[in-house]
Structure 1
């Protein structure tokens, strides 16, 4: 449970009373009650207000805010205010300002504008966190601590350059080892002194904003270093808080598939994971579901916080469409269904000026409750009160895991070939979507996660195989598991050095093949996957594109071959028996129809089925708690669709209505059942 002070799904969001007068704040208190708002995140960007100079601190406004919220039945997720440093700090201490990819020193402005390796930033950020924790540790309103906000962005300043060299010394020990893992004998890059190493930016090894690099090892390590540097400043604030507040959970809001930080490392350091969900109007709902599952996977399946979403529209996309009626409620429940124990927004009241004045809010600029968005928000608030503690702290039990690794993603992006069109996230989502379509739950796991609880483990485009990972996968398959990997896998180690002896390197024995060459064609050029015979749901021909591994079967059985080009007849789908299990290799990027038939086949082999059968666009997922199964059914379609409960009766806990058999569900509607409750 997140916090015993409020044992229900938290409902609320970011609130900025420092932007409003007393009359407006009083009106907000009234409207919060109408909407069922019970948690407000405050103090996110208030550093300049809290600290006007090096030694002066003003917390009276925050005292009044916490007291006022608590008196009106609203608890507080208290931020540390360190997400944007004050102007006076930028003026007096230039080291706090970042240097960008092109080597330019930033002026004051924007946010995410502090160098994580600035002694000034670390000093004053930690001091602020300490003072806040000391002052508010025992305040009854505080139910969570929120450190900074949406960490991100890289810095290339002198402080970062010096800290990078220290980081390298700690990681590799000697300059000789750095030369080895970076392969610096290439292009005469051998280093003899630590201070010869410079940051890889537009002035040295990289170009196109960091999309390309001459030395993958250098650039890969700098991404690790920057992710670690930002994580370190989070930990410094976290530890300052914990000196005074050991029983209140501490988090910071992550950003889902954000590419620059290794969130599996971050999850280990957070009491509870929280993240901000901002899909576009055309984002596949399965991709949003996958991202929820990824955030849940950062702490081995523990529930997470939905820290931000918009009740209506965003302000920062090219076309900021409104959420259609019912969508906010449904996407909120989708988050809960996939493991969220909170539903929170950015923001509770729309800002009057600056860049987020057109970002949606529970309370619109008109300032009253007679709006569509407020009515929908109030409806959801009432339902969450009605649900009480039925859902919080429940878990999702999955027999399938998909491996996701940020460092592998970085390495693929930096690989200097073979194809600019290779998108790691798209390839992962392709396989996730096939399970999603069958209402089969999936855990998104990191490469260090224990795989023994699963029946199926899939690692799409596992280009980088880190030390020990291949051995864990072998043990998993030997024990009876089913493992699947794809083209462009097993190519390099964690230093982006090619594993010699033939692709897929350390996975070669497990999958029973070796890849001689990799063909890369522009995405519209396709080949065929020709089944040798019907295998489960797989039959006939399918198309594939992008990359084409030219593989040779060793111990593996050939299930399908290429249908054209000079490698016609070479294997494209193989299966290798290994111990008591089996390992598949898919040598190209297949069309979705192949992936769906393939997943159906291996699920049938493992007796894995979804919670219910449903029409396309109707999502069914379950959480479990105390022996009960809570089932969410969501119709994401714009028309009526159906699902089938089979012979078992279910009762909608929100309405008390009973259902059995094939049931129609309205567009954008959500039903919540507790399995085992008999129809009334």
Structure 2
């Protein structure tokens, strides 16, 4: 039955639902007709998407390694993207034939120094897939390596110059880089000399007594992390420098590539490092890479759309976002496009089962025992539907978000050595929890960086959430207070603003009239087994004990009209706080303040005494979203009138209709009603082209679609 339906889609057979749809002035008439991909050389990136000659957004979905055969009815050719390996001059699969390999074995100073962790694909460790089992871990500061990289680039340039379907060229991805060679040390000292006017100024920040910059050496690492007694201020500067010098290297590689081919968009990156406890040893700052290197945003994040929201927010302009090798399950693929990826290459459709790496067969669609035929059917349907619904999908990232989560580079870099390999930190955990608590609000969620705050971008948002950003520069805190005083609203989650970027105490809560009397930290009860991450690095998660506490809310401020009584729950450390003259909005069961409202100027600052469980964040943010006046064009509500959770549902309003997407993230069937503050003519499921008789929606497990809600016409 499923194969017959897909055949009908391809053949564009007449359909009663399609015939009943009339043309609409903002989109073409809907039908099951699936347009062929236009010649890729005709596509141009503009305002966040590839666009055809008429200016319509085109969504591209390919499958690793499908370049020919009947599956091209469903997928774009995989070879429209290329990883050229120009960052290091080769990969773990072909390095033995590269000039870099000869240079590595022939010259002094070509080997990485002072680092015993993962090579970051530059180039390979002895346990890597492909080629001889040996360490070929290069130093990018070596002039011999640089010359060899340029030679490799010229040798392989025909691979991208002669590909008529090539839409983007990846210099390399899943990258990480750190090196402590003499050249790196000198570059670090020069960077410090530009940052600090005198060595005395540096000594104040580092609590050191250097007589000159020439005495300084980068902090040491051992076992893939800084040593336990590292100078935290010096480590912060070294990690910050490392992101700067690696971005500069990528910029140099790009310029050399453009001497050969100036047309094909270029990108590089290491997406997963942006939300990793080990970021400070990776050299990755996607905010720098996106804005200084990428022509298209490289997002090789796999499952969660949180990275899409983050990377789009960090970009200073709207760029195409591409996913070159998307792992994860076959579920919720449409959601990836709806969060801004306009070009996805899915892992994978193997030609035959792997004999060497048999575990990989479970991720190959035709060979897996875990991927059902129904799942494969849905993947094929997505391949067709994103082609015909490209303009509708693009609508959902056209409007900018009004809620921002603080992405603090300082808190990402400034991690205690013992937590570097933990996989996460309290700050990263809260980023994810806050984002999860926000994704069901029915509005777009964004991020704001420290750099963007200093550029006066905070005023673009109605609500700021600060998720346990423990290490923050004082000027960022000052800007946030000014934002609130000017009428903004902020939620501060502990332990935010405790230290500056150099790990020196800030004591900002005193300025808010809130006293911190004591802190109860979760007990460490163990560690998990060491595991290999998506990007090939390793981590060992720390397991904390349970410190959940029930929270009873008052009938004041945002809670005055809510039906929340004692439904909020804390999750993590507990602060015993003295609220001073500020208003207590919620208390723990022992009567201690849990949520305090500080009114600053024209705005409101909500200070939490503990992080919350994700569901409690959702309830709190739902009330705040209403309070700050963020309008949801469409709301999805359960039988009690509350926002549905478990499915992302978000709408955008246009002149004569609404577009609404719904994506069920669970293995259960979900039901909800669509609430629209307007009279409506009809609701159509744009994937099935079936009319919805009322506003009641039933979503099957992992089901996802886009609805078109026609407004009632005025005559």
Please tell me whether the aligned partners of residues 217 and 496 of structure 1 are also in contact (alpha carbons under 8 angstroms). yes
CA distance in structure 2 between the partners assigned to 1:412 and 1:46 by the alignment? 31
Contact 2:82 2:170 in 1 (8 A): no
Q: Post-superposition shift, 1:12?
A: 1.8
Partner residue in 1 for 2:604? 582
Give the TM-score taking structure 2 as reference length.
0.72
CA distance in 2 between partners of 1:50 and 1:455 (Å): 46
Q: Residue 608 of structure 1 aligns with which residue?
A: 630
CA 513–49 in structure 1, closer or farther in 2 if over 3 Å, else same: closer
**CA 1:414/1:103 → structure 2, altered by over 3 Å: closer, same or farther?**
closer
Q: 1 CA distance for matches of 2:88 and 2:221?
A: 36
Q: In the TM superposition, what are the counterparts of 1:11-160 in structure 2 within 5 Å? A: 11-12=61-62, 15=65, 28-40=67-79, 43-44=82-83, 86-99=100-113, 101-102=115-116, 109=126, 110=128, 113-126=137-150, 128-129=152-153, 140-160=164-184
State the alpha-carbon separation in 2 of the partners of residues 632 and 574 from structure 1. Answer: 36
Q: 2:666 aligns with which of 627, 637, 640?
A: 637
What's the offset of the Cα at 1:483?
0.8
More displaced, 330-339 or 80-89?
Answer: 80-89
Aligned to 2:582: 556
Q: Could you tell me how far apart the structure 2 residues matched to 1:377 and 1:121 are?
A: 43
CA contact (8 A) 1:575 1:583 kept: yes
Give the CA deviation at 1:92.
Answer: 2.1
Deviation digits for residues 377-424 of structure 1, max 9, x if unmatched? 43322222222444347524322111112331232445999x999521
2:312 corresponds to which residue? 296
Greater shift, 127-136 or 524-533, is seen at 127-136
Give the number of aligned pairs: 596
Partner-residue secondary structure (3-state), 1:452: helix
Contact 1:477 1:578 in 2 (8 A): yes
Counting only pairs closer than 5 Å after superposition, residues 210-221 of structure 1 correspond to structure 2 as 210=226, 212-221=228-237
Specify the alignment match of 1:285 in structure 2.
none
- Quote how far apart the aligned CAs of 1:45 are: 6.1
Q: Could you say what secondary structure the match of 2:83 adopts?
A: coil
Structure 1's unaligned 5+ residue stretches are: 16-26, 53-79, 185-189, 280-287, 314-322
| Matching residue within 483, 487, 492 for 1:485 | 492
> Structure 2, unaligned stretches of length 5 or more?
1-45, 130-135, 524-544, 638-643
Q: Please say if 1:432 is aligned against 2:445.
A: no
2:358 and 2:316 mapped to 1: Cα distance?
34
2:20 — aligned with what? Answer: none
Mapped partners of 2:118, 2:349: distance in 1: 36
Counterpart position of 1:620: 649
Q: In 2, distance between residues paired with 1:633 and 1:35?
A: 23
Mapping 1:499-538, distance limit 5 Å: 499=506, 502-504=507-509, 508-509=510-511, 511-522=512-523, 523-527=545-549, 529-531=551-553, 533=555, 535-536=559-560, 537=562, 538=564
Classify the secondary structure of the residue corresponding to 1:29.
coil
Matched residue, 2:193: 169
**2:697 corresponding residue in structure 1:** 663
Following the alignment from structure 1 to structure 2, what is the Cα–Cα distance between the partners of residues 246 and 604?
Answer: 48
Task: Provide closer, same or farther for how the CA distance between residues 607 and 258 of structure 1 changes in structure 2, counting only shifts above 3 A.
Answer: closer
**Offset, 1:262:** 2.5
Deviation of the 1:216 alpha carbon: 0.9
Output the aligned Cα RMSD: 4.1
The question of 1:183 aligning with 2:202 is answered no
2:683 matched to 1:650? yes
TM-score by length of 1: 0.76
Structure 2: distance between partners of 1:482 and 1:559: 15
CA 1:388 to 1:602, structure 2 compared with 1: closer, same or farther past 3 Å? closer
Aligned counterparts, 1:467-482, within 5 A: 468-482=475-489
1:505-539 CA-partner distances (Å, limit 9, x unpaired): xxx54x44243543424232455545455624353
> Aligned residue for 2:380?
378
Counterpart CA distance in 1 for 2:399 and 2:570 is: 33
Q: Secondary structure at the match of 1:358?
A: helix
Task: Say whether the 8 Å CA contact 1:126–1:236 is kept in structure 2.
Answer: no
* Equivalent-residue separation in structure 2 for 1:343 and 1:88 (angstroms): 36
